[in-house]
Each structure stands twice: as structure tokens, then as C-alpha cells.
Amino acid sequence: MKHLLLTVGKPKQTYLAQGIDDYLARLKPYGGGSLVGVRPAKLGPKTPDESAKAEEGQRLLARLDQRDLVWALEIKGKAWSSLQWAKALEKARLSGRSRLVLVIGGALGLDPAVARRADQLVSFGPPTLAHELAALVAAEQLYRACTILAGLPYHRA
């Protein structure tokens, strides 16, 4: 199964971009991983937040195929332990779909239309994370789930 991190924008901080790239490279033996960023909405004093989120949401939705399995990172989602990530990934692999897409909204959050398209809503818990940091955590958890399923010692419960 291929893995895609679909985000609003790309990481601006070098250390975050390097961390994401590192974990995506580690996914090569497990189907590979890539990062695609859509253009963020231009935010200004007269731009309503909801309209900016809707614009970003349309860009995200345009990158999805109807056959994709989509997990949206959303504060209202369910917080998974690493073992739950692994179980969900195992189920995803058995779904017959060829691509798992983890969608991460921008600075304003995720458009409701994207959340409705998602097969799962996943949260990293109550704290709000910067979307670039959320992408790094998502890449690491995806890699960790793969190593759990492969029985490798990366993860210690």
C-alpha cells in the first residue's frame, strides 16, 4: 500500500521537512511514502476563515481519488495509540485499496467537506499542533505502525 501525506502547504522549517523526508524514506520497504502540499489560501484581514478553509478544502479534495482510503487529521477525531495505528493500518492493507492518504489541514484547520470525505478522523489528542508538526508526527506514527506490523524492534510498547 502506498502512503501519501496530503497537506496544506509544505513545511517551511528545514528541521521539519528533513524529519518528514526521513520517515517517508523509511516507508520504502512498506509501499513507499510521499508528501504533497496544496497551495494555502491567502489570508488577509478581509478573508473570512471559513472561506479560506473551503478554498484549501477544495484543493485537497481535488488531489484525492475516489478509491483512496483517507484518514483526516482532525481535532474532533479519535486519538489512537501507536498499537491502534498499527491495527488500523493492517485493516487498511486488507481493504483492497492501493493508497492510504493522511490529510492535514492548514493553519485554520480542516474544511468540513474534507472531514466528510474521510474514512477515519484521527486526532493527536487535545493539544493543537502546528500543521507542519502534525505532518511530522503523522509520518512517524505511520512508520511506527509499519514496524509494529513487521515485528521490528523500533517500537517498544
Residue list for the binding site: 73, 105
Cβ–Cβ < 8 Å for 59, 106 = no
Write out the binding residues for S-adenosyl-L-methionine.
73, 105
The span from the CA of 152 to the CA of 144, in Å, is 9
Please state, in angstroms and rounded to a whole number, the distance separating the CA atoms of residues 143 and 122: 16
Tell me how far apart the alpha carbons of residues 130 and 118 are, in angstroms, rounded to a whole number: 20
- 4 bridge partner residues: 34, 101
End-to-end Cα separation, the chain, in angstroms: 24
